[in-house]
Amino acid sequence: GVFSPRVMEFLGIDYARVHYEEEGRIVSGILDTASKPSGSEWHLVNERWLRKWRKFVLSRGARRYFPPGPIDNSRLFKTEKDKKGKQVTKLKDHYVSGKQYRCVNWN
């Protein structure tokens, strides 16, 4: 179907809430997929940000949570020098997928 905020407003449907709840259902299904097929592109997302996002999109009734803001993965990485003295960014050693971050399929 075609999404029309005007029609939804006319029908008395809170289209912003419906949009966020639908987004939550779609992306939660993607995040819960454990397999990472060869050739697919994956990105890391901070688990703390994902928890805030889930609360926002999956909350029922009146909005009790604010949007989580931009994704900030800075706490997932460390900067160090490689053997040639060049600065490189790496995932922190003790971080585990599903605990501190999630892999999200881009394609």
Q: Where are the domains of the chain?
A: 5-105
DSSP element (H, E) containing 105: strand 101-105
DSSP state of 65: S
Better pLDDT: 98 or 59: 98
Residue 1, pLDDT > 50, answer no
* Among 79, 68, 70, 76, CA closest to 101: 76
* Among 58, 45, 49, 48, CA closest to 106: 45
Spatial separation of the C-alpha atoms in residues 92 and 106, rounded to whole Å: 22
Give the CA angle between residues 50, 54, 99 to the nearest 5°. Answer: 40
**What superfamily in CATH does domain 5-105 come from?**
DUSP-like (3.30.2230.10)
Mean pLDDT of 78-106: 87
Spatial separation of the C-alpha atoms in residues 104 and 107, rounded to whole Å: 9
pTM: 0.58
